Structure 1
Amino acid sequence: MTGADHRVAVLVLDGAKALDVGIAAHVFAKRPGMPYEVEVCAERAGTVEGWNGLAYAVGHGLDALERAGTILVPGFRDPATVTTPPAVIAALRAAHERGTRIAAISTGAFTLAAAGLLDGRRATTHWHYTHALQERYPQVEVDGDVLFVDAGQVLTSAGAASGIDLCLHLLRRDHGVALANQVARRLVSAPYRSGGQAQYVPRSIPEPLGDDFARTRAWALEHLDGDLTLAALARRANVSPRTFSRRFTADAGLTPLQWVLRARIDRARELLEATDLTVTRIAQATGLGTDTNLRRHFGVIVGTSPTAYRATFRDGGGEAG
C-alpha cells in the first residue's frame, strides 16, 4: 500500500467486548513508522453499551466505513440471539461492494454472516459459538478448528488472542514481515501463528515449556543457518527428542521442525524486504540450503516466489503474502 495512511474503521456494536475492541484499535494505532489511521465507529456516534457494564464513547457513525480501507468488527455478547441493525448490514454490504477489506474478531463473524458476506465462504469464530454460527447461517462453511481464515477480502478469527494473530497477518499482507514483527514485539506477542493452527487442544493443559525451551527457541532464531534438527534442539533444551517434540507441539501447535521452517521463511522475507542479497545467499543465510529449496517452501507458505515478493515490497508494499 502506498500514499496516504491506510484507514482502519473499528465497528463497535452493542455488547462489544473490550478486549476485542482494544486489539483492533491498538495493533493499528498511529505511531512513528505505522502507516495506519484508526477510527472507532458505531451505528451512530454517541454512547454504545458494551459487555460486563462497560460502555464506549464513540465519535463516528457509519460514515467512517466509507472512508476505510479496512473494517474490523470486534466480537460481542450473545451473538446467536442478537439481530444486526439493518443500517449496519447495508453499510457493510456497500463497503464490500466498494472492495473494502472486512475482518471480524471472534463473534464479529455473526455480523459479517448477517450481511451475507460469508455466504459460500470458509470462516471461523470462537469455538464456543461455531455450532451456533453454522446453525444460524448454514450457507457459511464454518471451520471451528483454526485461529483465523483469510478468504481474501473477508477474514474471520477465533477468540480474542487470535484477533492479534489476524491483525498481525493483515500487517504482513500490507507491509511485510518486518513491520509485523516490530508490532508483535511491542505487543509482546508471538510474531507468527498460522491461521491453520488449532484453536484449542481438547485435553488437559500441557506442562509449561519453561525457560529452557524459551531459551532454545531464542537460540534457534539466532542460528537459523545452523543445524536445527530435532536432535539438536532437544540437546539444547536438555531433554530427549521425543519429550521435546511432544511438549513443543502441545504448546506451540506446530512441530519443532514446522516451527523452524516458518522461522526460516520469516527471516527470508525480512532479508528480501530489507537487503539486496541474492536468493541463493538468502537460502544459505536462513539454513534452507539452496535457492530451489527456498523457492519451494516459500511458495507453499507465502503463496508467491521470493523474487515476486521482493518486487512487491520494493514497489511500496502490497498483498504479497
Structure 2
Amino acid sequence: MKKAKIWLLVALASVFLLVGCKQSQKETTTLREDPYYQEKFLMGTYVRIRVYDEGKEDALKPAFDRIKALADKITINQEGSEVDAVNAQAGVKPVKVSDDVYHLLKTAYDYSEETNEAFNMTIGAITQLWRIGFDDARKPEQSEIDNALQHIDYHKVIFDDQEQTVFLQDKGMIIDLGAIAKGYITDEAVKVLKKEGVTSAIVDLGGNVFVLGHSPRGEDEPWNVGIQDPNQARGTTVGTIKEANKTVVTSGIYERFLEVDGKKYHHLFDSRTGYPFDNDIAGISIVTDKSIDGDALSTSVYAMGTKAGLEFVEGLGDGTEAIFVTKDDKVYLTKGLEDNFEIGADSGYTLGNRDDL
C-alpha cells in the first residue's frame, strides 16, 4: 500500500485516526480531501463527526440531532432524563420509557448477566458516591461504600415488555449507563449517516470511534486507526491498526481519576468491592462491529485483567478483537490483530509475550 504524502492527525478523545489525504488513482467515488466537520460538547465530552462524501454536509445536522436527543434521555443527573425518572421511582413504581431507552436497558441487563457483573448496569450507587470526573469527586468512607454495595443488584431491575416499563425493586438502586450509552449513541449516529447516503465518515463520541466506509486515500483503502497511549496526553499513540466499517472503543486509567494521598483512583469500578478495578491493565481497546458492544466489552474485559481478557475476547468468535496496554509498558494483542497492529517506533512500548502472562 502506498503511503499518502500528507497525513492528517485527527485527535479523537481516547482513540484517534490517522487519515491519509491523497486519493488513489483508482478512486471512483466522490470523496473530499477535507471533510465536512462539526463538533459539539455533549455528555461531558467533545462529539465530532467528519463526513467525506461530496455534497453530504447536510447529513451532519440530523446525526447531531439524534445524538442530543438520545443523550437527553439516557444521561443521569440531567433534567428530562428517562433513566433519572426510573431511578427516582426506585422501590416505588415502574416507569414507562421510550423504545430507545427500553432497548438500551435490556441490552445493559444482558451484558450484566453475560459478563458475570464485570459490567453492571446498577453500579450507580457507587459511581454517584465517588463522583470521579466531576468537581466534587472524593474518596468515600468505607461505611458509605459498604452501604452503597447493598444497592447494587441488576437482578432487581424488572422489565415489563408489554407495558414497556422498568422498575427498580430496591429504593436505593441507581442505574448508570455510562459504560454503554456512548456506544449505543455512536451506532445510532452512524445509522443516521447511512440513511442520509453517507458512505465515508468518522464518528467520535469521546473515545467511541466508528470508521464508516473507506478512507479518502482510495477505493477499498481502510482507515489507519491510532490507539491511545494510556500514559500520555490525547493524541499520543502506542501503535496503529487498519480498519473499515469498524468501531474502536478504549477504556483506561488515563484522564478521569481522583488522587488521594498520592494514590490514583480511576473511574472503572468493581461492583463487588466498590473500588476501582486493580489489575495489570493501563488501557484496553476493543475492535468490533457495533460500538455498543465495544463500549460494554471495554469495561468488562478491563475487569478481567490481561490474561483472562485475551482468552475471553478470543472466545467470542465473532470477529471482535482487543489491544491491551499494560502498566509495565507491554502491548498484547488478540490473535486476529497480530498481522494488523503496527507498534509505534518511538512509543516506548514493546509487544508482550503471551506465554509470560
Please, what TM-score do these two structures have when normalized by structure 2? 0.28
Bigger strand fraction: 2
Q: Larger RCO: Structure 1 or Structure 2 (Cα < 8 Å, ≥ 6 residues apart)?
A: 2
Bigger helix fraction: 1
